[in-house]
Chain A
Amino acid sequence: MNLFLTISFSSIASSLHNWLTKTIGNLTMVQVTEMVLVGLSLLVFLVPLCFVLGYMERKVAAFMQIRLGPNRVGPKGTLQIVADTVKLLFKEGLTPNASDKFLFNLAPIIVVVTSMLVMAPIAFAKDFQLWDLNIGVLYVSSISSIGVIGILMAGWSSYNKYSLLGAMRSGAQIVSYELSVGLAIISIVILTGSLRMSDIVMSQANGWWIFKGHIPVFISFVIFLIASTAEINRAPFDLAEAEQELTAGFHTEYSGMKFAMFLLAEYINLFVVSAIGATLFLGGWMPFHISNWAGFNNVMDYLPSSIWFLGKTFFIIFIIMQFRWSFPRLRVDQLLTLEWKYLLPISMVNVILVTVMAIMGWHF
């Protein structure tokens, strides 16, 4: 038992590194092998994650609409998503004749790759991070905005007015809401004084920012939730793929595995956004502590850090799903009004408040 507790992810990683160096010898080859291993483990993690999220989404939707949801394939419908995937695998990946074929086939790859790249600086557990770079938060916000290029590409190359309209809407939406997400993230960066993800997590060892930062941080958490829901094109901000108006928006012409890649990207984005929200505001993998309650804190420490991280992430995912099934879709003008008239001014004032708070040391 004692041995089990002392093994950490970093010790596993370093022993693997030592073993690889001994067996391969060439340092460049060791690095390449490690990169391939990391990429593979990421893929192995992501596909079951998307299955879980797909099932969760359908079940949450069903319960909120007083339905039962999938309940025929497998126990309680858990294998439904596998059946859907098999169906998508067997479908023909059609490319329309009039489309720009190169861009059309490139677009889903770009969308998936960008959403996977954002996974790099996320701290999944204690000492378990793919790449702890010193500008982690900046990296996340800059890479996540590249995804819109893939969406625009898909809409443009489909040679379909619905696709083009959806892509244009998505572009306008992501460009606008990026600002609010950025300002919400900046308020945490101000308090922490670092862009590195591990520093941000460590700064919450004595309390999560949402508790330590009083009302301003809570406001920026709410703004982060709203704006990031808009940024990943989920309802009520799913104008890019509004079914009733644009059939399926930018992925109208996609079928088979190319469509599945867009779906995969959507769920990865959902996870990434929630993971970043959990890291910045809810303390990442830090367990829940109440100061002076030593016994309670010890019990909380016994839960593994990965469980804490995943629990917080899935909590935010659930909230974003609840948004989807509670609110009606916004009109385009309402969407832009919400951002430019409400979220942006509020978050600007909020950043000033947080700055004053950080300078005066009013937070705990």
Chain B
Amino acid sequence: MKEYFVTIYKGVRSLLKGMKLTGYYFTHPREIKTEEYPDNRATLKMFDRFKGEVVMPHDEKNEHRCTGCQACEIACPNGTIKIITKQEIQPDGKKKKAIDTFVYHLELCTMCNLCVVACPSDAIVMAQTFEHSVYDKKQLKKVLNKPGSKIMEGVE
């Protein structure tokens, strides 16, 4: 008999708890999570861990951190990255491997982040852009190193 009333009490309490939460959300429109996307393009900011595409950051002297080690190319599960290297002659006469073109096929990329993890010199990062739609597949093939760029001092 006691158990009967205890179940009623517990049931009513948990139901009221649920109604309190929905009532709170109803009276606090500020909690609404919906993004009205095309309207808020100007102010929309994606969160830091969002993976939109692979980019290679360049500094103001047009220098990147890629040594051309091809670790990312090996790490990529579906052949998204293709690195073409060249031999550069240093001022002291030694030859050194450097990148010629860093080809990135966005149409093949699954944003798995393995290339960024594999990179020993933090040359590539994931960007927060996401509006990638184009009418021609060829436009999705991107060269990440900017023309005329070279490797940063001190990155081996």
Contacts of A45 on B, CB cut-off 8 Å?
none
Q: Min CB distance, B136 to chain A, in Å?
A: 31
On whether the beta carbons of B18 and A66 are closer than 8 Å, the reply is no
Does chain B have a CB within 8 A of A322? yes
Q: Mark B71-96, 1 if CB is under 8 A from A, else 0.
A: 00000000000000000000000000
Q: Min CB distance, B16 to chain A, in Å?
A: 10
Does chain A have a CB within 8 A of B33? yes
Contacts of A71 on B, CB cut-off 8 Å?
36
Contacts of B19 on A, CB cut-off 8 Å?
322-323, 326
On whether the beta carbons of B32 and A67 are closer than 8 Å, the reply is yes
Interface residues on B, range: 10 to 19
Contacts of A342 on B, CB cut-off 8 Å?
8
List A309-364 residues whose CB lies under 8 Å from chain B.
322-323, 325-327, 342, 346
Selected interface stretch from B23-31, B47-55, B102-110, B122-130: B23-31
A326-B18, A326-B19, A327-B15 as given contacts; A66 in contact with B36, CB under 8 Å: no
Contacts of A327 on B, CB cut-off 8 Å?
15, 18
Does chain A have a CB within 8 A of B34? yes
Interface residues on A, range: 10 to 19
Q: Min CB distance, B15 to chain A, in Å?
A: 7
Contacts of B18 on A, CB cut-off 8 Å?
326-327
Q: Give bound CA distance, A63 to B34, whole Å.
A: 10
On whether the beta carbons of B26 and A60 are closer than 8 Å, the reply is yes
List B9-49 residues whose CB lies under 8 Å from chain A.
15, 18-19, 21-23, 25-26, 29, 31-34, 36
Q: Min CB distance, A27 to chain B, in Å?
A: 53
A64, A68, A323, A346: the one contacting B25 at CB < 8 Å is A64
Contacts of B29 on A, CB cut-off 8 Å?
63
Q: Give bound CA distance, A342 to B9, whole Å.
A: 12
List A275-332 residues whose CB lies under 8 Å from chain B.
322-323, 325-327
